[in-house]
């Protein structure tokens, strides 16, 4: 039996390395992707809940990412899918900028 991952902070990159329109994928126990959408930072679990596809390779439009495999859309603020083929949300994580670094608060939902 594995224990759930404890909340922890991870430095993703320098903010200057994540300009608007870019993403960075963190290879953690559960991969996480950070998106910069018009200067707003979002972090979600990287794997589509419909099928194992990396959302970091998807297309971002407004505040949603489209899975590159079967076009499931996930809201970056809530993690909720907009409809089939995905029904289960992806986990969101709080993000902050600390001393010029993008910090993901893994396990702490975006609030």
Strand partners, 74: 65, 81
User: Do the bridges between strand 32-37 and strand 23-26 make them parallel or antiparallel, or are there none, so unpaired?
Assistant: antiparallel
Q: How many residues does the chain have?
A: 111
Mean pLDDT value across the chain: 94
Structural domain range at position 21: 8-106
Residue 80 lies in a domain: yes
Residue whose structure tokens are 């893994």: 106
Q: How many domains does the chain have?
A: 1
Q: How many CB atoms lie under 10 A from the CB of residue 27?
A: 8
Sorting pLDDT into bands at 50, 70 and 90, what band is 6? confident
pLDDT mean over 43-72: 95
Q: What is the pTM of this model?
A: 0.92
Residue 3 lies in a domain: no
What distance, in Å, lies between the first and last C-alpha atoms of the chain?
Answer: 30
Residue whose structure tokens are 């794997």: 47
pLDDT tens digits along 78-109:
999 998 999 999 999 999 999 999 999 999 99
pLDDT in the model for residue 106:
96
pLDDT in the model for residue 4:
56
Give me the phi and psi of 36, to 5 degrees please. Answer: -110, 105
d(CA 109, CA 99): 22
CATH number of residue 92's parent domain: 2.102.10.10
Sorting pLDDT into bands at 50, 70 and 90, what band is 5? low
Percent of the chain at pLDDT > 70 equals 95
């Amino acid at each position: 039996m594995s224990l759930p991952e404890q909340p922890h902070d991870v430095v993703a990159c320098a903010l200057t390395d994540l300009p608007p329109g870019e993403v960075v994928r963190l290879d953690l126990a559960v991969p996480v992707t950070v998106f910069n959408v018009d200067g707003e930072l979002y972090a979600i679990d990287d794997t589509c809940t419909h099928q194992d596809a990396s959302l970091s390779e998807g297309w971002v439009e407004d505040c949603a990412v489209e899975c590159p495999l079967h076009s499931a859309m996930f809201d970056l603020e809530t993690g909720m899918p907009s409809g089939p083929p995905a029904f289960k949300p992806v986990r969101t994580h709080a993000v902050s900028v600390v001393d010029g670094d993008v910090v993901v608060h893994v396990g702490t939902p975006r609030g």
